[in-house]
Amino acid sequence: MVCAARIGDATSLGVICSGSPDVIINGIPAAFATGSTATSILVGMTIIVKGSGTVFINGLPAARLGDPAGDGAAIVCGSPNVLIGG
């Protein structure tokens, strides 16, 4: 189990800037693969490309610490107390 990602959490090349309109983690919208975008110092904007295989947010894989973005970055921080498996 690893930390859940949210809007404002960092990737190694930027920051997650979009997420769920109705799933909130620690008061912040949750991030999900193939739907959440992130800023990127390499390409401007990118998406989170992979997430949990067993936990879904709005029908899409939940994004977690270590999950990759399309620019080659990985999520490097997340919720301090909400963990997601799979």
Domain region containing 29 = 1-86
How much is the pLDDT for 80? 96
Report the number of distinct structural domains present in the chain.
1
**In the beta sheet, which residues pair with residue 29?**
24
| Whether pLDDT at 86 is above 90 | no
Percent of the chain with pLDDT over 70: 100
Q: Which residues contact 56 (CB under 8 A, 6 or more apart)?
A: 32, 62
State pLDDT tens for residues 43-72: 999 999 999 999 999 999 999 999 999 999
Residue 9 predicted with pLDDT over 90: yes
Average pLDDT rounded to a whole number, residues 30-46: 97
Return the sign of the alpha-carbon dihedral for residues 31, 61, 4, 65.
Answer: negative
Query: For the domain that residue 41 is a member of, what is the CATH number?
Result: 2.60.200.60
The token duo for 13 is: 């090349």
